[in-house]
Amino acid sequence: MSQQNFWNDKFSVNEYFYGKEANEFIKSCKENFDRSKDVLCLGEGEGRNAVFLAKKGFKVTALDASNIGLSKLQQFAKEHDVDILTKCIDLNHWEVNKKYGSIVSSYLHMHKNDRKRLFENIENALETNGYFIGEFFSTNQLAYNSGGPKDLDLLYSVEDFKESFPSCEKIKVEEVITHLNEGKGHQGEASVIRVILQKK
């Protein structure tokens, strides 16, 4: 099944699968973002992080493989009278042609063998002093039933981030247990990795 078909199936319900509230960790990092710089949201789905940032005054671009998710994102943005540029693309095919002051992502599902290129693209797409901020399900999430893939190959370790991004300072790379309340898709105790990297 293609990434588009997988996510279109999830997002084809009327409600917002992961809710309309931005990821709590990304919300907590809003002071890291520079309003004079553009923000890129990766694997943004139905738009909860993008709309939150656009309402804060940022110029936001959102990428996702699901055309259904991005259609719902645009409806969500319209409800809040904000403009968000969207592009429907599988991140395995993303080519960097612009620099961003911040790049954010929550629960991006990417196979381990595909991450090297993705991480290089993220690093190349960051402006100097720009931030990459994200929250990802850890390999220990297999022990929890709060959401996320049940495939170890789609889960992350702290080392995945510490051993990548050579031109970035690792301000935070830590695994924590948190409680998720994000629509019907993420509910309950979860093991996640929180990342704040700054391009040097």
Q: Which tokens sit at 127?
A: 């402006």
Output the pTM of the full model.
0.96
Query: pLDDT at position 1, please?
Result: 75
Give the C-alpha distances (Å, rounded to integers) separating 44 from 96, 126, 143, 158: 17, 17, 25, 22
CA–CA gap between residue 157 and residue 174 (Å, rounded): 9
- Block means of pLDDT (10 residues each) for the chain, 200 residues, are 91 95 96 90 98 96 98 98 98 96 97 97 97 98 97 98 98 98 97 98
Query: pLDDT at position 185, please?
Result: 97
Q: Which tokens sit at 148?
A: 């996320």
Query: pLDDT at position 197, please?
Result: 98
Q: Which tokens sit at 62?
A: 């959102």
CATH tag, 3-199 = 3.40.50.150
Nearest to 1 by CA among 199, 149, 179, 200: 149
Radius of gyration of the chain (CA): 15
Note whether 106 and 117 are within 8 A (CB).
no
Domain boundary assignment for the chain = 3-199
